[in-house]
Each structure stands twice: as C-alpha cells, then as structure tokens.
C-alpha cells in the first residue's frame, strides 16, 4: 500500500466518511497500522473509530498529552522512537486521530520517518476538519515559536466525519468557526453571507473544506495566493505564542482577524463599511473571546513570524468580500495603532 496506489480521495467528508475509510482499509490492508492520539481523543474518539472501523482493533496506539505543548521536538522524538521499536517500515500506515495538534504532529513524524510513510488524518475537532487536516502542512513548535519546524506533506486522505463533533467542547467548536469565518472572508463571499445571515451549521463544513482545497491546489507551497489563508494569523500566531497555551488557536485567530481588519482599514485596503461589517460579525459570534490584549508582549513573536521578509512584518489582509491582499508590509507603529484601536473597542 502506498500513496500512489491508493484510490481513496484526498478528502472524504460527510456522514459516511468513516464507512468509506473502513471499506478502503479492508481492500488495502496495510502491513502495519499505528494510531496517534492524545489522551482526550483516546477517551472520546478512539471508541467511536473502533465502532465504525473494527479491524483497527489490532492497531498499535501511541498516546500523547493533549494541548499545544505536545507539538514539540521531544514528543516527535518519542513517536519516532516508538515507531522504531515497533519496527515500522515505509509501508506502515499512521492514522492521526485528533485535533490540529495531532494532525500537525503526526503528519510531521510520518513525513520524516524513513523519509516518509503513508498517513491518514482523521480530524476530530471542527478546527482540524476545516484547517489543519486539509492542505498538507505539518509542523512542530520550536523555541516557543508556532510551527517553526515543519514540512509540506500530504496525507493519503483526510477523513472528515461529523460523528466526532458530538463530543466536542463548546470552546473548541468556536475555534473551528473562527477558521470558517476566515476562509469565507478572504475567499468565499457567498459563504460569508450565509455565515452572517444564518450563522454556522455543520453543513457548511464541506463548503469551507472545498474552498480551502481550491486555494491549496492553486498554490500548494504557499508561494503566492495561498497566503490569503494567513489572514488573522500574523497577530494570531504571535498572540498564541505569547499566551503560552492559555489561548486556543481559533481564539487567537478570532482576535487576530479583528485587529488585522482594523489594520487593513488603516492602510486603506478596505472600505470602512466592509471593515465595520466584518468586525460586527466577529463581535457577534466571538464576543466571549475578544478581550483586550498586551500589544507589547507580541513584539518578540511578531519578529519571528515565518512570513517576514528582511525584518519587515508581513500580513495577509482582507480586500473586498471574498478577496485578500497578500504580502502587505506594516510597521510596528501601524500594528500597535491597530491593537490600540482594538483594545479601545473591547474595554
């Protein structure tokens, strides 16, 4: 079994996704299967997976602690050590069962072990379904910088089954919605209109995933247009790093989008009307998340953003609805001004 002989689509989504995976697995039985999960997904998602795909009962399990702190070189080394001890070969299949932490970490380990073994993502959070699980990015954090060490490497398939969302905590759910709002704002005006008029519903997952897939296909290595997906992420990643795990990724991105929308308006890249519409929509949905932040604490982390060029801070900022400006350079003063305006609104 290899990525090339697989007939499983790149993305399998919907209520029968696990069933499709089960059928494929029966026909393409890998010589060895290893499942990576954290203690949360081991408890809540592994029984669900086993119920739908019973032949996985003989698979080996690798368990990590939940949370961003597991996306480290030390845990990657632990996973490689376990794979080695189990004599995993280039044909061993790694299944990453979990949220974005697990898919990023598991994808990273699979991409590098013996220069690449096949892996399947089964994202169990809304965020991972619409974001980390799709697009071929893998990474670990390093020196407190998010995703500093990583690769572009595609899973055999990403299995998106809403059955896992039943046990998803509300806070995690909101994180996923933040990425759906982002995708809509910069790449799908029709999805944005649906979100603002009717709010989010699980039926929109497919729409968000297909939009992201279209963007990734056009520019897989993020040389140009894919950078639109970084909207909210320059501020968001720095904030996430500065908060050291107390803020979830989607929460940081919600705040990042608000501030970067403000920055776009300041730089006259969007009309004040579109700025206000976006900020109102964000405020309406993410009011529990949008809190004042410490702009000074972000400076160090902004400097290490992967998108930077020659010590200039680079942003992907909204243009008209469903479109985006990439490679926008902003000065530290402009950034702090946007943060100050945000903090003022949140008081």
In the complex, the residues that contact a second copy under the rule CB under 8 A are 2, 4, 31, 73, 77, 80-81, 84, 87, 89-91, 111-116, 137, 139, 142-143, 145, 147-152, 221-223, 303-304, 306-311
- CA distance readout (Å), 14 to 24, 144, 146, 160, 214: 16, 36, 30, 6, 18
Distance in Å, CB of 125 to a second copy, minimum: 22
Whole-number CA gyration radius for the chain: 20
**How many angstroms separate the CA atoms of 316 and 244, rounded?**
24
Q: Which is nearer to a second copy, 221 or 284 (CB)?
A: 221
Helix (H) or strand (E) holding 331: none
Separation of alpha carbons 187 and 253, rounded Å: 16
Residue with tokens 């297909």, as numbered in its chain? 210
Nearer to a second copy, 85 or 273 (CB): 85
CB of 266 to a second copy, least distance (A): 25
Dihedrals phi, psi of 154, to nearest 5 degrees:
-95, 140
Rounded Cα distance between 105 and 96, Å, is: 9
Q: How far is the CB of 309 from a second copy (least distance, A)?
A: 6
- Between CA 156 and CA 3 the distance in angstroms is 5
- CB nearer to a second copy: pick between 36 and 159: 36
User: Least CB distance from residue 157 to a second copy, whole Å?
Assistant: 19
Q: DSSP label at 232? A: T
How many CB atoms lie under 10 A from the CB of residue 310?
A: 6
Distance in Å, CB of 317 to a second copy, minimum: 19
Instruction: Write down the least CB distance from residue 71 to a second copy, Å.
Output: 14
Q: Characterize the bridge pairing of strands 157-160 and 119-123.
A: parallel
Closer to a second copy by CB, 72 or 266: give it. Answer: 72
Residue among 311 and 344 whose Cβ is closer to a second copy: 311
**Whole-number minimum distance, CB 78 to a second copy, in Å?**
11
Strand partners, 142: 145
**CA–CA gap between residue 63 and residue 54 (Å, rounded):** 19
155 and 121 Cβ atoms separated by less than 8 Å: yes
Is residue 252 within 8 Å of residue 286, measured between CB atoms?
Answer: no
The nearer residue to a second copy, 1 or 239, going by C-beta atoms, is 1
Q: How far is the CB of 302 from a second copy (least distance, A)?
A: 11
Which C-beta is closer to a second copy: that of 300 or that of 323? 300
Using the minimum distance from each CB to a second copy, give the nearer residue, 144 or 276: 144
Q: Give me the phi and psi of 223, to 5 degrees please.
A: -80, -30
Nearer Cβ to a second copy (23/89): 89
Task: Return the closest-CA partner of residue 317 out of 221, 195, 232, 193.
Answer: 232
Q: How far is the CB of 114 from a second copy (least distance, A)?
A: 4
> Position of tokens 């993502």?
121
119-123 and 137-142 strand pairing: unpaired
Please give the biggest Cα pair distance in the chain.
59
């Amino acid at each position: 079994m290899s990525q090339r002989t697989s007939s499983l689509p790149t993305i399998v989504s919907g209520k029968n996704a696990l069933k499709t995976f089960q059928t494929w697995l029966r026909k393409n039985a890998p010589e060895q299967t290893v499942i990576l999960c954290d203690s949360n997904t081991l408890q809540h998602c592994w029984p669900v997976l086993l119920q739908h795909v019973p032949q996985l009962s003989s698979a080996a399990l690798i368990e990590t602690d939940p949370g961003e702190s597991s996306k480290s070189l030390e845990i990657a080394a632990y996973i490689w050590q376990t794979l080695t001890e189990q004599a995993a070969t280039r044909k061993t299949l790694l299944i990453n069962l979990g949220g974005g932490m697990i898919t990023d970490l598991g994808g990273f380990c699979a991409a590098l072990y013996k220069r690449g073994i096949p892996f399947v993502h089964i994202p169990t959070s809304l965020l991972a379904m619409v974001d980390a699980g799709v697009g071929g990015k893998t990474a670990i954090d390093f020196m407190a910088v998010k995703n500093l060490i990583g690769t572009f490497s595609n899973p055999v398939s990403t299995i998106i089954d809403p059955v896992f969302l039943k046990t998803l905590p509300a806070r995690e759910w909101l994180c996923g919605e933040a990425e759906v709002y982002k995708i809509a704002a910069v790449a799908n005006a029709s999805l944005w209109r649906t979100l603002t008029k009717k709010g989010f519903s699980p039926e929109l997952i497919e729409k968000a995933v297909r939009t992201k897939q279209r963007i990734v296909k056009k520019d897989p290595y993020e040389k140009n247009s894919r950078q639109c997906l970084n909207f909210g992420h320059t501020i968001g990643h720095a904030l996430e790093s500065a908060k050291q795990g107390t803020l979830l990724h989607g929460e940081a991105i919600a705040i990042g989008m608000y501030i970067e929308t403000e920055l776009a308006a300041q730089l006259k890249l969007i009309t004040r009307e579109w700025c206000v519409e976006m900020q109102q929509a964000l405020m309406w949905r993410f009011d529990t998340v949008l809190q004042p932040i410490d702009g000074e604490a972000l400076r160090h982390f902004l400097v290490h953003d992967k998108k930077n060029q020659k010590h200039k801070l680079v942003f992907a900022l909204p243009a008209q609805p469903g479109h985006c400006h990439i490679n926008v350079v902003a000065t530290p003063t402009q950034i702090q001004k946007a943060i100050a305006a945000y903090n003022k609104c949140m008081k």
